[in-house]
Amino acid sequence: MKIQTYNKVSICCVSIVSSKGSMGDNFCYICNLLKKQYPEGTKIEINAIGASIYKKQLTSIFGKNNLLLVSFNRRQPISFFNINDYIRIYIFLRHINPEIVFFYSAHPINIFILFILFFLIGGRRKKILYWWHDPIPHSSVSINLYKIINKLHDLSMKRLAEKVIVSCDFLKVALVVSSHKNLSRNIFKVELGLLPNLCYDDIKNMKSEKMFDIIFWGRIDKYKGVEVLIDALLLLSDRRRVKAVIIGKGTIKKEYKEKVKCLEKLGILKIINFYVPDRELATYISRSKIAVFPYLDSTGTQTIQVAYYYNVPIICSKVGCFPEYTAYAKAALLIPPNNPKNLADAIEMLLIDNQKRKTLVENGQKLLEIKFCEKNILKKLIDIIL
């Protein structure tokens, strides 16, 4: 019997997303870290299956080799009937025959990839890694067909993954004490880092007047507590003159439309309810006095790292990763979730207290240099993957 030997360790990183956002941005960031660590010619080969909407970013990392781009958009169900992409995935995986497959995000097509790896491709033993971003469902998540499929996906990953990665201790502890106790030895933590696509040194170093007292940015979902910020702004309107901006796609609750109109009429609130290019968003962040994230619940985040980079002090809810990512209130003001009065009080205090803002910024910079630096994240990833 002929024994097959391999000269390289082949790794395939997988992340298929339906729209641009921090998930896809961070996948590109991680691929770039791994590719720089193991360029072509080394004994470790980095490959990727990614979303076609990230063609520019992923092609700049991989070139035309070692990369497959596909289009499966859950907002366009017809895209799942594109037989050609399924065939291309099979041919690509058969060609690279990966020893290690690192699933960075949840997607129904991952189940098809697992089927190919375990039933249609022979040869190497397959080592599966899974970054589980949301093992705890966000509040107010509605049940639909996609959510059911996602649940089946996570159950498959839980059974097949040798190692599971989470972004903070909060999630790690929650998994260990939950029904996933058998995973306890296989759960590893890697912090979410600073997204390079939002870092502009010229904007950071620009000496310009602040346009806004308060900024919130990110996709507007129910769990992010934008309505709590709106109520806090109404409370503040009777105390002091403030100016806030909310940037992100999504829908604010219908019952808040009149409140929003009132705040807009008073010149207190500006809402930018559409996608803003990275450089423009960076300008808004750098020209704001305080970043506010009044989440009702949370898993991981990459918002506060960007605020640290632009020296913007933070107020955030004491949920999810926020306590750990802010060194337990050393680099941000932590407030109880869903409490407009506490948020209004915190905003007013921080706007008045220049020294407190300076202290928070300094501590945020220390975290950025130590906890969220590329060196720390890359070392943890390599130790887990290899």
- pLDDT, one tens digit per residue, over 100-125 is 999 999 999 999 999 999 999 876 78
What does the alpha-carbon distance between residue 182 and residue 275 come to, in Å, rounded to a whole number?
41
Instruction: Report yes or no on 2 lying in a domain.
Output: no
User: Which residues does residue 295 pair with via DSSP β-bridges, in sequence order?
Assistant: none
pLDDT tens digits for range 44-68: 999 999 999 999 999 999 998 899 9
pLDDT tens digits for range 29-43: 999 999 999 998 889
Residue with tokens 């791994």: 34
Q: How confident is the model at residue 1 (pLDDT cuts 50, 70, 90)?
A: very low
**Are 204 and 223 contained in the same domain?**
yes
Percent of the chain, pLDDT > 70?
A: 95
What does the alpha-carbon distance between residue 198 and residue 305 come to, in Å, rounded to a whole number?
10
**Are 267 and 175 contained in the same domain?**
no
What does the alpha-carbon distance between residue 225 and residue 65 come to, in Å, rounded to a whole number?
43
Comparing 145 with 175, the larger pLDDT belongs to: 175
Closest by Cα among 133, 104, 57 to 301: 133
If residue 302 lies in a helix (H) or strand (E), which one and from where to where? none
Which strands make up the sheet holding 269-272, listed edge to edge?
269-272, 244-247, 212-217, 288-293, 314-317, 333-335
Instruction: Report yes or no on 176 lying in a domain.
Output: yes
**Are 356 and 210 contained in the same domain?**
yes
**Quick check: helix, strand or coil at residue 1?**
coil
pLDDT at residue number 146: 66
Residue range(s) defining the domain that contains residue 115: 9-191+373-385
pLDDT at residue number 123: 66
pLDDT at residue number 367: 97
What does the alpha-carbon distance between residue 327 and residue 349 come to, in Å, rounded to a whole number?
20
Percent of the chain, pLDDT > 90?
A: 77
pLDDT at residue number 154: 85
Q: How confident is the model at residue 137 (pLDDT cuts 50, 70, 90)?
A: confident
Mean pLDDT (whole number) for 239-245: 94
pLDDT at residue number 75: 79
Comparing 149 with 192, the larger pLDDT belongs to: 192
Q: How confident is the model at residue 217 (pLDDT cuts 50, 70, 90)?
A: very high
Q: Provide the number of structural domains found in the chain.
A: 2
Instruction: Record the pTM.
Output: 0.92
Joined together, the tokens standing for residue 239 give 């105390």
Mean pLDDT (the chain) is 92
pLDDT at residue number 256: 96
If one counts every other C-beta atom within 10 angstroms of the C-beta of residue 113, the result is: 22
Instruction: Report yes or no on 1 lying in a domain.
Output: no
**Are 377 and 360 contained in the same domain?**
no
Instruction: Report yes or no on 170 lying in a domain.
Output: yes
pLDDT at residue number 180: 55
Distances (CA, A) of 6 to 47, 97, 99, 124: 16, 10, 10, 9
Tell whether the model's pLDDT for residue 140 goes beyond 80.
no
Amino acid in the structure at residue 5:
T
pLDDT at residue number 3: 38
pLDDT at residue number 313: 98
Mean pLDDT (whole number) for 229-250: 95
Sequence-distant contacts of 136-141: CB under 8 A, at least 24 apart: 136/171, 136/174, 136/297, 136/299, 138/221, 138/222, 138/223, 138/297, 138/299, 139/222, 139/223, 139/296, 139/297, 140/222, 140/223, 140/296, 141/223
Which strands make up the sheet holding 163-166, listed edge to edge?
67-70, 44-51, 9-15, 100-103, 127-131, 163-166, 187-189
**Are 155 and 213 contained in the same domain?**
no
**Are 235 and 102 contained in the same domain?**
no
Tell whether the model's pLDDT for residue 184 goes beyond 80.
no
If one counts every other C-beta atom within 10 angstroms of the C-beta of residue 354, the result is: 9
The helix-helix angle for 226-236 and 257-265 (nearest 10°) equals 40
**8 Å CB contact between 379 and 342:** no
Q: How confident is the model at residue 143 (pLDDT cuts 50, 70, 90)?
A: low
Tell whether the model's pLDDT for residue 319 goes beyond 70.
yes
**8 Å CB contact between 311 and 199:** no
**Are 91 and 179 contained in the same domain?**
yes
pLDDT at residue number 142: 59
Residue 105 sits at φ, ψ, to 5 deg, of -145, 160
CATH number at residue 96: 3.40.50.2000
